[in-house]
Structure 1
Amino acid sequence: MILSARSRAAAVLAVAALLGPVATQAAAQPAATPVTALAAPDIPVSSVKAHLTQLQSIATANGGNRAHGRPGYLASVNYLRAKLDAAGFTTSLQTFTASGATGYNLIADWPGGDPSQVLMAGAHLDSTTSGPGINDNGTGSAAVLETALAVSRAQLKPEKHLRFGWWGAEELGLLGSRAYVNSLSTAQRATFAGYLNFDMIGSPNPGYFVYDDDPAIEKTFKDYYAGLGVPTEPDRVGDGRSDHASFKNAGIPVGGLFTGAGERKTAAQAQKWGGASGQSFDRCYHSSCDTTANVNDTALDRNSDALAHAVWTLGAPTVR
């Protein structure tokens, strides 16, 4: 029997009157607890800097650099891979050839997540031949590593499949990331929900630049910094100069962070961010003085936490 709307309403009121406040309270409760995003953990800057100390030691023991084709680069890869293997990641090395030498990309997959929705965070691991490359790009590499280790410590169960990557031969023209993207089939490229890039995120005279590519990724970073009360600017200088370009050119949504390279900080930027107006964001860019002394701890700390926030938010791990 189908009751009229008026009859149904009367029946509901009659039952409520019989059951009293219990029914009223039950009716007010939602059918299920809303799904909310898990908050990302704080990434201790001391842990990120400990990785930078190791990368500095590797460079010092191998001719002062960690460049493509040099022993310091492969030693850097092996250091990261050992950490990731111990943390439960599935790691693999992709090889390619550049300038007559073998290059290496390190890929680390966290078990679980939807394989048709891959969220990847990455950074180039190589330096130039002129120095140890601690800001460029030990900072990005170390922050991505420590975020991956935080995923393991949390035993995170995200909805998306999380992948992390460290690229070789970026300093020779994005060669490692390009080799990786070129190795993907059309179907594999279509599984990427996004790629997040972190190249130079601890510059000693830092700016706070957010890639203005994919709107959702950009908003995630900008909202995070707005919550800190730190203004940001779109990264227009770095567009196409780092590994996100390899993914962007393949139609994959990209985003990322950057604290500046050899360009000079303007007076307006110094007013809102502090630091020295008229001086380079990184005076040791591609130089021998790009050591562990060439890092701004506050910028590195903020960007490492922003990285983790993006992985947790965009990876959509949830709790009921």
Structure 2
Amino acid sequence: MKLRTISVVLVTAGALLGSGSATAAPAGPDISVATLQADLNQLQSIATANGGNRAHGRPGYLASVNWIKSKLDAAGYTTRVQSFTRNGVVGYNLIADWTTGDANNVIMLGGHLDSVTAGPGINDNGTGSVSLLEVALAVRSTGFRPSKGLRFAWWGAEELGLVGSTYYVNSLSTTDRSRIRAYLNFDMTGSPNPGYFVYSASGQPTGSTELQQVIQGYFSGIGVPTELTSVGGRSDHAAFARASIPVGGTFTGAEGIKTSAQAQKWGGTAGQAFDRCYHRSCDTTANINATALDRNADAIAHAVWTLAA
């Protein structure tokens, strides 16, 4: 996640939904946290074998792309690797489309796959990357047949200024942009001292409120309070918002400090960063809260099954 200050606004669980929808049973499958952790171990192994990171232009990044692509190809996705250049070095986005659903009415989900050069980037953003992967694979394994088109993306060079996602959006024709009805972003979903933040729809394109409420509804349904966060231009949703595409997502916190009220609400340690290893070499598989990772992956599945069905 690109460094930038954020602000948060407290929202009690389900406050914006009203009726019975806030506490409805979650849609979508339960994503195995053990599988997510195994995937994170794989990303750690890739980083370790390639100079300790998975950064833009480094061999660990392309190895990460190839590993995820191989799993998606085996599951029957239509995949493509989009290349771009940053700092004189070629970078890559991985795009995967499911084979059924309305190609003129697409729900898109993404997160960045690159790390900083300082470390392997397991929370930032291995967590979002593997969660998206396992939700995509669950579409195949459960036999889910979405009526809407379903597209997943893993972005390159986010840490250098949201480069890959911006390149992708700018490369789309006006018609292709209009086909993307929503974009959901998942960047840092297993912070070790986690918060449960949902992207605020305030100031975002029309339609973003529905995405916010779907995600809030999931957390409300499992009894976890959330706070809205104004992410601004901090992550890869920004290019989609500029293109007037509704945006949403979740976030478990980076360098910000957890307050006493937040620690009382969510557990963890007040006065300490949500992720003390943010952009550091210690962002390894030891830098993960398994409960937050599990809940956020299930929230992604809930969003897909709710929005694309």
The match for 2:214 among 212, 220, 231 is 220
Q: Deviations over 1:106-147 (max 9, x none)?
A: 000000101111001101000000000000000000000000
1:301 maps to amino acid: D
**Is this contact kept in 2: 1:196–1:244, CA < 8 A?**
yes
Give, in angstroms, the shift of residue 155 of structure 1.
Answer: 2.4
1:41 aligned counterpart, secondary structure: coil
1:180 maps to amino acid: Y
- 1:142 aligned residue: 130
Q: Deviations over 1:213-255 (max 9, x none)?
A: 210000001011111111100112x321000011111111010
Which structure dedicates a bigger proportion of its chain to helix?
1
Give, in angstroms, the shift of residue 77 of structure 1.
Answer: 0.2
Matched residues, number? 279
Matches within 5 A, 1:1-12: none
Does residue 252 (structure 1) correspond to residue 240 (structure 2)? The answer is: no
Does residue 273 (structure 1) correspond to residue 266 (structure 2)? The answer is: yes
Q: Distance in 1 between matches of 2:303 and 2:232?
A: 20
1:289 aligned counterpart, secondary structure: coil
The match for 1:124 among 112, 132, 140 is 112
Structure 1 residue ranges, 4+ long, deviating more than 4 angstroms after superposition? none
The match for 1:187 among 175, 186, 208 is 175
Matches within 5 A, 1:1-320: 39-213=27-201, 214-236=208-230, 238-316=231-309
**Is this contact kept in 1: 2:40–2:122, CA < 8 A?**
yes
**Is this contact kept in 2: 1:209–1:257, CA < 8 A?**
yes
- 1:20 aligned residue: none
Q: What TM-score, normalized by structure 1, do the two folds share?
A: 0.86
Q: Which runs of 5+ in 1 are unaligned?
A: 1-36
Higher relative contact order (CA 8 A, sep 6+): 2
**Is this contact kept in 1: 2:54–2:120, CA < 8 A?**
yes
Instruction: Tell me which moved more, 285-294 or 222-231.
Output: 222-231
Q: What TM-score, normalized by structure 2, do the two folds share?
A: 0.89
Residues 309 and 38 of structure 1, relative CA distance in 2, 3 Å threshold: closer
2:282 maps to amino acid: C
Q: Deviations over 1:27-58 (max 9, x none)?
A: xxxxxxxxxx9931100011111110000000
**Is this contact kept in 1: 2:27–2:301, CA < 8 A?**
no
